[in-house]
Structure 1
Amino acid sequence: MADIETTSTSEQGYTTVSRAGDYQLTVDATGGDGPDPNSVLVADYASCFIPAFRVGGQQEGHDDLGTITIEAEADLDDGDDLAAVRFTVHVEADLSDEEFDAVVERAEDICHVHDALREGLHAEIEVRGGQF
């Protein structure tokens, strides 16, 4: 039996409804009825990176990072494939650049989406502490 099972259905056009457990997500290749697949992938990457960042912080002795927000940007190539991803991570805690670098390094090792993407598409990450 598989560890993850999802069902995705398109009844017509370019809109697909995916079910993962009790959750449903509508994705539209044209961006009309929902986010396009590339936007979903970038959002999923950021959504995975935040808890990985928190765990990385805990492993580095920073148990309370407070609120964390990622502003993600991505570039597409001529074929509309993702070519680059950039994260600006806003963190309520105000750590030194060296401390944030250590947390980012751990988070990159923990984040499953980061691990699943080809290395050339890993996010370029900038962290800004003392936010909010």
Structure 2
Amino acid sequence: MESHIYNLFILALPVACIAWTVTKEEIFREAREFCVGKSKDCNKLIKRKFFYVFTCEYCFSHYVTLIILLITKYTLLYDDWRGYIVAGFSIVWMANVYMSLYNIIRIDLKKEKIRVAKEESELKNES
């Protein structure tokens, strides 16, 4: 059981990484902007929801988790279909904790850069 919990924390890392990269990072900006437009403009609900998935890290993490579960056959607590359900939601939850922490760290780093730039500017103005 201990290794199952350990695997939960490990499997959530690639889920978080993939979900964050696709939904937030610059490399996928154009594709994401296309999906944002389609998620607002499509005439069919199913199409709008399909494109929305690629713009929301929480939503997208469910689909990444599904693929990870298919590849790894990881279960949690139970060895049958119930184990896949528990594992799936556990991985999604843990991945979203990781993404929230990452976002907090990024915000703190940005604040620090802004503070340093402001102090440097003030020092230049004093000189």
RCO higher in structure (CA 8 A, sep ≥6): 2
| Larger radius of gyration between Structure 1 and Structure 2 | 2
